[in-house]
Amino acid sequence: DAKTTQPPSMDCAEGRAANLPCNHSTISGNEYVYWYRQIHSQGPQYIIHGLKNNETNEMASLIITEDRKSSTLILPHATLRDTAVYYCIVWNSGTYKYIFGTGTRLKVLA
Amino acid sequence: GAGVSQTPSNKVTEKGKYVELRCDPISGHTALYWYRQSLGQGPEFLIYFQGTGAADDSGLPNDRFFAVRPEGSVSTLKIQRTERGDSAVYLCASSLTGGFNEQFFGPGTRLTVL
């Protein structure tokens, strides 16, 4: 499984865009990038996933570089409730399981 | 609708005892996963069920750990002869069919082995 690298922590001002980077330089052509977040004392929550095209949903946008070796999760207008640990996961259909790293602890500041 | 539920939410036991942790997945979800999360770490995969069968149990750390899903719905994670190192939050997730479908996680069971 491809390894992902994320910064351990980031701060973001409330109302501003939060841009969370992830490196996955060993990703294979059939592997997807998934993002989950975990708010304190809760289970992880799905945010978004993509293969090679940029994706957007009601929660966030996912920008994947053309070579697919890195991606960025964008929370367009961060709120205090977005304070959480964000996990970038590379997934392939052969394994079904997620391999989590240690994630990025995002703190949204008032 | 109802999400994934796990019981108990907290379990304190003594070293050497046997424990069972229960997971009720979302109704109709055929895939079920167990993960373990230690403090400050991301969840670590334990086992994946597709229906009643364990499709991948490669994450179970040793033979003290066992999980069942006899009717393809509720699952029980069983830990024999618990050790202090087993203390962690045990997370259960379900997804519609496995594969690309997102996994829905429960709130976890916090296990403390004294």
A69 touches chain B (CB under 8 A): no
| Nearest to B83, CA basis, from B40, B48, B112 | B112
Judging contacts by C-beta atoms under 8 Å, the chain B residues touching residue A93 are: 99-100
In the predicted model, is pLDDT for residue A2 greater than 70?
no
Q: Of residues B107 and A41, which shows the higher confidence score?
A: B107
Nearest to B35 by CA among B71, B67, B3, B7: B67
Q: B15: which residues sit within 8 A by CB, 6+ positions away? A: B82, B83, B84, B113, B114
pLDDT of A29 reads: 86
Residue pair B105/B40 in contact (Cβ under 8 Å)? The answer is no
Residue of A nearest to B3 (CA): A43
Asked whether A91 and A31 are in contact (CB, 8 A), the reply is: yes
Mean pLDDT of chain A: 93
Is the link from the previous residue into B8 a cis peptide, with omega within 30 of 0?
yes
Task: Give the whole-number percent of chain A exceeding pLDDT 70.
Answer: 98
Cβ–Cβ of A46/B102 closer than 8 Å? yes
pLDDT at site B14: 97
For chain B, give the percent of residues with pLDDT over 70.
99
Alpha-carbon distance of A3 to A103, in angstroms, equals: 12
pLDDT at A82: 97
pLDDT at A49 (0 to 100) = 95
* B48-78 pLDDT tens trace: 999 999 889 999 999 999 999 999 999 999 9
The reply to whether residue B105 touches residue A43, judged by beta carbons under 8 angstroms, is yes
Non-local CB neighbours of B92 within 8 Å, separated by 6+ positions:
B4, B6, B23, B25, B32, B33, B34, B35, B75, B77, B105, B106, B108
pLDDT band at B1 (very low <50, low <70, confident <90, very high): low
For the segment B87-106, the average pLDDT, to the nearest whole number, is: 93
CA distance A100 to A36: 10
DSSP-assigned beta bridge partners for residue A46: A36
What pLDDT score does A1 carry?
60
Using a CB–CB cutoff of 8 Å, tell me whether B45 touches chain A.
yes
* pLDDT surpassing 80 at residue A86: yes
Residues 6+ apart with CB under 8 A from A48: A34, A35, A55, A56, A57, A59, A60, A61, A62, A73
Decide if pLDDT at A60 tops 90. Answer: yes
Give the pLDDT score at B105: 97
Rounded to an integer, what distance in angstroms lies between the CA atom of residue A78 and that of residue A71?
Answer: 18
- pLDDT at res. A94: 75
State chain B's mean pLDDT as an integer: 95
Residue among B45, B99, B100 whose CB faces A99 most closely:
B45
